[in-house]
Structure 1
């Protein structure tokens, strides 16, 4: 029987940091627990302070419409404060 991993790994580019990414909590929370300093503010998907680029991997959202346009979603933008990992992920910080 093939069981899902209890956690995934989040790799942060370009600095190469990584942390455990727990599927039951948002990526931002996992990154903070792993000692990664990532910009954030509202923590509910509206302010966009934490926006990043999902270079590799998959995430899911538990809210119907996180603060991303369809174009941003198509380009791989994610909001780590409300994004839950579904696999190992590679995340690149925003250049804002």
Structure 2
């Protein structure tokens, strides 16, 4: 159970804001808990409002096929509302704001 005790960090670029991503939380949930609002709407991977680019790291999705095309996935676009970190992650989300 080492993985569950690992501290995982999310960095939001270009602002260089950071937060911790608790095990079992999505990138969107973790950022909101840290006072950082990413654009979002549905929170279930269909509306694409939260779409941003994965710059570094690896994620896994809570759902089998989130609302991204194969080409978008290959270009490192992700949906943070249904994405969980598998280690340190850096995303590019220029519309993120502190709340």
Indicate the RMSD between aligned Cα atoms, in angstroms.
1.6
Contact 2:13 2:94 in 1 (8 A): no
- 2:19 aligns with 19
Find the aligned partners of 1:62 and 1:50 in 2 and give their Cα distance: 15
Structure 2: runs of 5 or more not aligned: none
Structure 1: runs of 5 or more not aligned: none
Instruction: Report the alpha carbon displacement of residue 6 of structure 1 after superposing the two structures with TM.
Output: 3.0
Find the aligned partners of 2:79 and 2:7 in 1 and give their Cα distance: 19
Give the structure-1-normalised TM-score: 0.90
Give the structure-2-normalised TM-score: 0.88
Q: Which runs of 4+ in 1 moved over 6 A?
A: none
Instruction: Report the alpha carbon displacement of residue 7 of structure 1 after superposing the two structures with TM.
Output: 2.9
Paired residues, number = 94
Q: Secondary structure at the match of 2:55?
A: strand
Contact 2:14 2:94 in 1 (8 A): no
